[in-house]
């Protein structure tokens, strides 16, 4: 069961407390942000990490940074904690992997307008095992 994070309930989890899948997604997100900031294509670098979901994950990140109300905050790859923005991304991907659309919509409700939430959900669902083959 997942609960939506709010400003009042967020405590950054340590990276060590994340599941293996979440750690991989976090590493990929941090690498994507770092490479995008240096105007490098992240897909070739992330392919070894993400395999067949690389393109879909990159689409999630592109949708996310475009829709996000402020600059998406990603900590350096070596950081031991998770930023609030990273935690929201990981929660969205976890919800997408379980097909929990309503919960994901609630998670992003205060951050994004409905059209951005819908686009981000569609991208997230394709980047998870739940959406493979859709």
pLDDT tens readout for residues 31-46: 999 999 999 999 999 9
| pLDDT the model gives residue 80 | 94
pLDDT tens readout for residues 112-133: 999 999 999 999 999 987 554 4
Extract the tokens encoding 52: 């067949």
pLDDT tens readout for residues 50-103: 999 999 999 999 999 999 999 999 999 899 999 999 999 999 999 999 999 999
Q: What percent of the chain has pLDDT over 70?
A: 88
Q: Whole-prediction pTM value?
A: 0.86
Residue 107 to residue 73: CA distance in whole angstroms: 17
Closest CA to 84 of 70, 95, 63: 70
Contact 100, 2 (CB under 8 A): yes
Alpha-helical runs (H) found in 3-130: 20-37, 43-50, 54-67, 84-97, 101-108, 114-126
pLDDT tens readout for residues 4-34: 555 445 676 789 999 999 999 999 999 999 9
| pLDDT the model gives residue 131 | 52
Q: Extract long-range pairs of 38-41: CB within 8 Å, 24+ residues apart.
A: none
- Over its C-alpha atoms, the chain yields an Rg (Å, rounded) of 14
């Amino acid at each position: 069961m997942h609960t939506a994070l709010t400003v009042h309930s967020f405590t950054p989890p340590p990276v060590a407390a994340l599941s293996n899948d979440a750690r991989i997604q976090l590493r990929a997100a941090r690498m994507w942000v770092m490479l995008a900031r240096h105007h490098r294509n992240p897909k070739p670098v992330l392919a070894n990490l993400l395999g067949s979901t690389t393109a879909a994950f990159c689409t999630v990140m592109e949708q996310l940074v475009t829709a996000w109300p402020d600059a998406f905050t990603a900590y350096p790859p070596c950081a031991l904690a998770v930023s609030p923005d990273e935690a929201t991304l990981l929660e969205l991907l976890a919800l997408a992997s379980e097909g929990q659309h309503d919960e994901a919509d609630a998670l992003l409700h205060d951050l994004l307008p409905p059209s951005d939430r819908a686009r981000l959900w569609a991208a997230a669902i394709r980047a998870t095992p739940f959406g493979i083959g859709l």
